[in-house]
Chain A
Amino acid sequence: MTIESMIWLIPLAPILAFFIIVLFTNRSKWLSHTLAILAALTSAVMVFWLISKVLSTEHFGEHPIQSYLPWFPAGDSWFTISVLVDPLTILTLFFVAVTILMIFIYSVGYHNFGAPKGDHDRPGLQPHGATVSDAHGHKHTVMSIEPMYSRFFAFFGLFAFGMYLLVTTGNLLVLFIGWEIMGLCSYLLIGFWFAKPSARAAGIKAFLTTRVADVLMLLGIAYLYFATGTLNYKEIFVPEVLEGLAATPAIGNILGLSAAGLIGILIVIGTIGKSSQWPLHVWLPDAMEGPTPVSAMIHAATMVSAGVYLVIRFFPLLSAGWDGHGLTAPMQLMAFIGTFTAIFAATIAIAQNDVKRVLAYSTISQLGFMIAALGIGGYIAAAFHLMTHAFFKALLFLGSGSVIHGVEHGVLHTGDHIDPQDMFNMGGLRKKMPVTFWTFLVGGFALAGFPILTAGFWSKDEILADAFIHQHWPVFITLAVAALITAFYTMRQITLTFLGQPRTKAAEHAHESHWTMTLPLVILAIFAVVIGWAGIPEEFPVLGGILPNVVHVVGESLPEHPEAIPFNWLPLLTSIVVSLGGLFLGWLVYRNVKAGQPDPLAKPLGPIWTVLKNKYYFDELYDYIFVRPAKWMAEDFAIWMDTNVIDGILHGIASVGPILGSFFRNYIDKPIVNGFGDWIADVTRKMGVSLRVIQTGRIQQYMLMALVSLVAFGVVFYLLLVQ
């Protein structure tokens, strides 16, 4: 089997797992999760084998692995699809394969495999605990197994298929197919506990918000196909084609854009929706309604990363016409949106109390970093941060899931009805859940960009250096501030959750999670530390050059390889100060929060705090502008239209019949038709009445009449015949 044909098969195992679980093994939980994990493992093994084959190739970027397949006839020719494996693909496949496998394993423990069935559990509800009695007859509640266990793994398999498809393909249409499959799975998995109204609403919100972006993206895809006649990357990213697109004005000369500019902007809009950037960011925080593995995989590591992957992949098109100085229109859009979102989401994150919400806004903010990096031309920096972020964000989410499980256990044990996800109900968990604590710490430091030791530092530093060197000062300063706030809220989270003393009884009774949950945490933590070292710039003092800079090979995917960024102390110092300073401040402010105390920042910031806590009221704004009119249209207007206008028209048409009928009856049938008949009869009768007078019975009159007629006839005959 050649490498080319094997690449087509990478997405196969998970989709097979999906079908088999849905059709056959639904009842057996053990069989379902084993199948799913085996599928993820198979794909991962294929990916690693691929990587091993590829690492030895010199200048891999210039000789990517491609394979073409004609799919359907389109006009005179065939529409071909392809797979493409180049350095960017390898980088993405690597973190996708590892995170998917880790999260699959984690889900076994998260859904409490092996636990008894819950007392009041039903499919559609979150598991609520089962009462068990121990040897002495004491009853206490423990965590129960998820009723829809197999369904979860089936959906995950479908999702993995979608992601692999998106990453391995070399065709934009197939990418869009994978994109939409993941969108579907996101909806299904956010609303996994469908009996909860908030989960249902969150699923719909996610789907509809991304749908808005997807429609515009589809327009971009269509326009691209129209302009170039193909959707395969290697046929589009040819210099002649790109220059042609950059030179042609867009249809209708909208905003003075070139064709490449308009297509680029539409594609960027697709990413804005999928990667939850402002203004389409509202769905991701609500998506935390889903189970934590879902949040980890879909909303941290893979699906939202797919949006960034798309714009990185399409960088040649987005930067078509970029001469190194003025940014093209799509790049300007990305730079602005990315930077704005980074600081916007970071400010909201510091005011959230739910442990998963903080991480959600953190994801939005970090994705903003990546998009901003790409917007200013930092191709390699964006790809690097994409990879490191996937690892440490997945790690953080899984860690938060472990924490929530621990507190849940405490809630069930003590019967203390508190929100297990609220950080202000936690505290001191480092003693109760050490593994979780240390791995979470690693992940948090990576997010904050703790120097040297964590991967996040290297990737974030690369972004800031890129911004600095190319003198995009607004971007540089804003991202630096955002990084500071990132470190601050990360330490806030760690301090509130793990440090200090337990603030509730439930937190006191927390215990460490099962090994199926902690093993993935450890593995991901190792990656979160180590992977950054694969991208140390060559010119870095002391450390540069020790390890080969594998990440920069990604640059060879582009037609023109980006030059390495010269080393500069200022961005490096900025990174270090911002990260350490933020961490220190976070620990400082939050270390002494006791049970029942409000947030220390609430009073000093006052009204600003309220605005941040309420997410700048964007949800309320969108509800007012979009949701309510849509509901009015659907519920009131449509019904009014149907009942009054359409039914009115129908009644009107229907009433034509009786009206016409009565008109014909009363004005034509009765007077004219009947009347005519009656009139003839009447005339005949009247004629009879008037003629009857002649018959008097008197002979003399008869004779008289006869003689008069005779004379008359005689005259007539005489005049006619004789003359």
Chain B
Amino acid sequence: MTALQILFIIVAAVTLGAAVMVANSRNLVHAALWLIVSFGGVAVVFALLNAAFLAVAQVVIYIGAIAILLIFAIMMTRHITGEKTARFTTNHILALLLAIVLFAGLVWMLLGWSGSAALAVPLDARADPVRQLGAALVAPDGYILAFELASVLLLGALIGALMIATERK
């Protein structure tokens, strides 16, 4: 057991634990906070995977934007009465069962796949994933189209959200 492995295990446990807390939290704000922890964990995992840009982007976008937005939404849709409403739906046992079965299935399938035991190939010292990513995103024979479409998507979402959320008089 190398240090990397131990590190990974700790990070995974924290992330998964936070995710479970998100699922079980009664207080909505607590759930959002646990979500932030979870996002953080995922960012660390990205870092472990040598995807530096994504790790930072994760923190900035997810924690910085999405989680905040969620907290805003929680604030705006709070029940004024504040009474205890049920957390779970009626079929939560079945859903739990389903999740477990699905997880078991996935794990069993993955372990049966020969490629899952592969180890990481050491990266070239000169290779710079960030630079590569940036170049790929704007290269005309790369992914510029996807990049531009993504921005159009974001524009559309922006406008759409505005339209939907506007109070009509």
Taking the complex as a whole, does A directly touch B, i.e. does some CB pair lie under 8 Å apart? yes
A253: interface (CB < 8 Å):
no
Which residues of A691-723 are within 8 A (CB) of B? 698, 700-701, 704, 707-708, 711, 714
- From B74-82, B90-98, B121-129, the one touching the partner chain is B90-98
Q: Is the CB of A704 within 8 A of B105?
A: no
Which residues of B66-112 are within 8 A (CB) of A? 89-91, 94-95, 98, 101-102, 105
Contact of A711 (CB < 8 Å), options: B90, B91, B102: B102
* Chain A residues whose CB sits within 8 angstroms of the CB of B91 once the complex forms: 700-701, 704
Cα distance A698–B90 when bound, in Å? 11
Q: Is the CB of B105 within 8 A of A701?
A: no
Q: How far is the CB of B89 from chain A (nearest CB, A)?
A: 5
Number of A-B residue pairs at CB separation under 8 A: 20
Q: Which residue of A lies closest to B90 (CB)?
A: A701
Q: Which residue of B lies closest to A714 (CB)?
A: B105
Q: How far is the CB of A706 from chain B (nearest CB, A)?
A: 10
- Residues of A within 8 A of B (CB-CB), count: 8
Q: Is the CB of B94 within 8 A of A708?
A: yes
Q: How far is the CB of B98 from chain A (nearest CB, A)?
A: 6
Q: Mark A248-288, 1 if CB is under 8 A from B, else 0.
A: 00000000000000000000000000000000000000000
Cα distance A707–B102 when bound, in Å? 9
Q: Which residue of A lies closest to B101 (CB)?
A: A711
Cα distance A698–B89 when bound, in Å? 10
Q: Mark A216-257, 1 if CB is under 8 A from B, else 0.
A: 000000000000000000000000000000000000000000
Q: Is the CB of B105 within 8 A of A711?
A: yes
* Chain B residues whose CB sits within 8 angstroms of the CB of A701 once the complex forms: 89-91
* Chain A residues whose CB sits within 8 angstroms of the CB of B90 once the complex forms: 701
Q: Which residue of A lies closest to B88 (CB)?
A: A700
* Chain A residues whose CB sits within 8 angstroms of the CB of B89 once the complex forms: 698, 700-701
* Chain B residues whose CB sits within 8 angstroms of the CB of A711 once the complex forms: 98, 101-102, 105
* Chain A residues whose CB sits within 8 angstroms of the CB of B102 once the complex forms: 707, 711
Cα distance A714–B104 when bound, in Å? 13
* Chain A residues whose CB sits within 8 angstroms of the CB of B101 once the complex forms: 711
Cα distance A698–B95 when bound, in Å? 14
Q: Which residue of A lies closest to B109 (CB)?
A: A718
Cα distance A708–B94 when bound, in Å? 9
Q: Which residue of B lies closest to A707 (CB)?
A: B98
Q: How far is the CB of A297 from chain B (nearest CB, A)?
A: 125
Cα distance A704–B101 when bound, in Å? 13
Q: How far is the CB of A59 from chain B (nearest CB, A)?
A: 140
* Chain A residues whose CB sits within 8 angstroms of the CB of B94 once the complex forms: 704, 708
* Chain A residues whose CB sits within 8 angstroms of the CB of B105 once the complex forms: 711, 714
* Chain A residues whose CB sits within 8 angstroms of the CB of B98 once the complex forms: 704, 707-708, 711
Cα distance A714–B94 when bound, in Å? 17
Cα distance A539–B140 when bound, in Å? 180
Cα distance A704–B89 when bound, in Å? 11
Q: How far is the CB of A400 from chain B (nearest CB, A)?
A: 131
* Chain B residues whose CB sits within 8 angstroms of the CB of A700 once the complex forms: 89, 91, 95
Q: Mark B46-73, 1 if CB is under 8 A from A, else 0.
A: 0000000000000000000000000000
Q: How far is the CB of A711 from chain B (nearest CB, A)?
A: 6
Cα distance A701–B98 when bound, in Å? 12
Cα distance A704–B91 when bound, in Å? 8
Q: How far is the CB of A546 from chain B (nearest CB, A)?
A: 153
Q: Which residue of A lies closest to B99 (CB)?
A: A707
* Chain B residues whose CB sits within 8 angstroms of the CB of A714 once the complex forms: 105
Cα distance A302–B159 when bound, in Å? 145
Cα distance A714–B102 when bound, in Å? 10
Q: How far is the CB of B111 from chain A (nearest CB, A)?
A: 15
Q: How far is the CB of A705 from chain B (nearest CB, A)?
A: 9
Which residues of B107-145 are within 8 A (CB) of A? none
Cα distance A701–B94 when bound, in Å? 10
Cα distance A707–B94 when bound, in Å? 11
Q: Mark A321-359, 1 if CB is under 8 A from B, else 0.
A: 000000000000000000000000000000000000000
* Chain B residues whose CB sits within 8 angstroms of the CB of A708 once the complex forms: 94, 98
Cα distance A714–B101 when bound, in Å? 12
Q: How far is the CB of A713 from chain B (nearest CB, A)?
A: 12
Cα distance A714–B109 when bound, in Å? 12
Q: How far is the CB of B165 from chain A (nearest CB, A)?
A: 21
* Chain B residues whose CB sits within 8 angstroms of the CB of A707 once the complex forms: 98, 102
Q: Which residue of B lies closest to A698 (CB)?
A: B89
Which residues of A134-183 are within 8 A (CB) of B? none
Q: How far is the CB of A82 from chain B (nearest CB, A)?
A: 121
Q: How far is the CB of B41 from chain A (nearest CB, A)?
A: 25
Q: Which residue of B lies closest to A700 (CB)?
A: B89
Cα distance A530–B98 when bound, in Å? 148
Q: Which residue of B lies closest to A701 (CB)?
A: B91
Q: How far is the CB of A722 from chain B (nearest CB, A)?
A: 10
Which residues of A617-672 are within 8 A (CB) of B? none
* Chain B residues whose CB sits within 8 angstroms of the CB of A698 once the complex forms: 89
Q: How far is the CB of A709 from chain B (nearest CB, A)?
A: 11
Cα distance A698–B91 when bound, in Å? 11
Cα distance A292–B81 when bound, in Å? 140
Q: How far is the CB of A715 from chain B (nearest CB, A)?
A: 8
Q: How far is the CB of B88 from chain A (nearest CB, A)?
A: 10
Q: How far is the CB of B94 from chain A (nearest CB, A)?
A: 6
Q: How far is the CB of A374 from chain B (nearest CB, A)?
A: 126
Cα distance A711–B104 when bound, in Å? 11
Cα distance A150–B94 when bound, in Å? 124
Q: How far is the CB of B100 from chain A (nearest CB, A)?
A: 11
Q: How far is the CB of A216 from chain B (nearest CB, A)?
A: 108
Which residues of B22-58 are within 8 A (CB) of A? none
Q: Which residue of A lies closest to B91 (CB)?
A: A704
Q: Which residue of B lies closest to A708 (CB)?
A: B98
Which residues of A416-467 are within 8 A (CB) of B? none
Q: How far is the CB of B96 from chain A (nearest CB, A)?
A: 11
Q: Which residue of B lies closest to A715 (CB)?
A: B105
Cα distance A714–B91 when bound, in Å? 22
Q: How far is the CB of B97 from chain A (nearest CB, A)?
A: 9
Which residues of A9-40 are within 8 A (CB) of B? none
Q: How far is the CB of B135 from chain A (nearest CB, A)?
A: 40
Q: How far is the CB of B10 from chain A (nearest CB, A)?
A: 31
Cα distance A333–B90 when bound, in Å? 121
Q: Which residue of A lies closest to B102 (CB)?
A: A711
Cα distance A704–B102 when bound, in Å? 12
Cα distance A35–B88 when bound, in Å? 135
13 residue pairs of the A-B complex, CB under 8 angstroms, read: A698-B89, A700-B91, A700-B95, A701-B90, A701-B91, A704-B91, A704-B94, A707-B98, A708-B94, A708-B98, A711-B98, A711-B102, A711-B105
Interface residues, chain B, with chain A CB atoms under 8 Å away: 89-91, 94-95, 98, 101-102, 105
**5 new A-B pairs (CB below 8 Å) besides A700-B89, A711-B101?**
A700-B91, A700-B95, A704-B95, A704-B98, A707-B102
Q: Which 7 A-B pairs have the closest CB atoms?
A: A700-B89, A707-B98, A704-B95, A704-B91, A708-B98, A711-B101, A701-B91
